[in-house]
Amino acid sequence: MDKKISDKVIGRLTLYHCILSDFIKENIEFISSKQIATRLNIDDSQVRKDISLLNNSGKSRVGYIVKELKASIEKTLGFKKEKKAFIIGAGNLGSALAKYDNFMNYGLNILALFDNDKNKIGKIVNGKKILDIKELAKLKQELNADIAILTVPREYAQKTAEYLLSANIKYIWNFTPVVLEVPQDVQVWNENLMGNLLQFTYNI
């Protein structure tokens, strides 16, 4: 990236990207900041400000050129940069994420799933094998995977995280409702579904 872009802006740019993808499907060539803003219920000056952070040349008299704006967002946010990941825990959520092919559009390449359940090991989910968790360290090394997507039951979350650290995993995408204890050089992203739920349902 050319400059540091804040998390909030990255979040909004990915939503703009979703809207642009829809417009392309509908063969619409131009889009205005107002059209994006209305869909997200935000101010159009915010949209223009966010887009000004991109190296986007696709501005015309009738609005942004949809394809070029989409490409600018992809370039700035690094969609094309491959990010290799393992899913740890081949339960319902792990399997659902393994089947989510949309990840590939964002550069996320899920190589395999891991579990300790003998009934699951060896099975295939969406073309990805479920492997024995004991193989993790070796395969992390061989395949150069960066990210562990943690979807184990909450009671195994911390113990599993420690095992991931011992395999030299530095990025944990945490789907469990446990706040993991990890060293400072390990990045954890808490997919805090409960926090989102409570924010969202505040007024119910």
Angle at 48 between CA 1 and CA 43, to 5 degrees: 125
Whether 101 and 82 have beta carbons less than 8 Å apart is answered as no
CB of 189 to its own copies, least distance (A): 4
Dump strand ranges (E) for 83-178. 83-88, 108-115, 124-125, 128-132, 147-150, 171-174
What is the nearest approach in angstroms of its own copies to the Cβ of residue 41?
7
Pick from 100, 78, 116, 75: nearest CA to 175: 100
Binding site for its own copies (CB under 8 A): 1, 7, 10-15, 17-19, 22, 39-41, 77-79, 81, 83, 91-93, 95-96, 99-100, 102-103, 105-108, 146-147, 154, 171, 173, 177-179, 181, 184, 187, 189-204
Nearest approach in angstroms of CB 88 to its own copies is 15
Of 61 and 204, which has the nearer Cβ to its own copies?
204
Shortest spacing between CB 160 and its own copies, in angstroms: 15
Looking at the Cβ atoms of 134 and 153, the one nearer to its own copies is 153
106 Cβ contact list (under 8 Å, min separation 6):
79
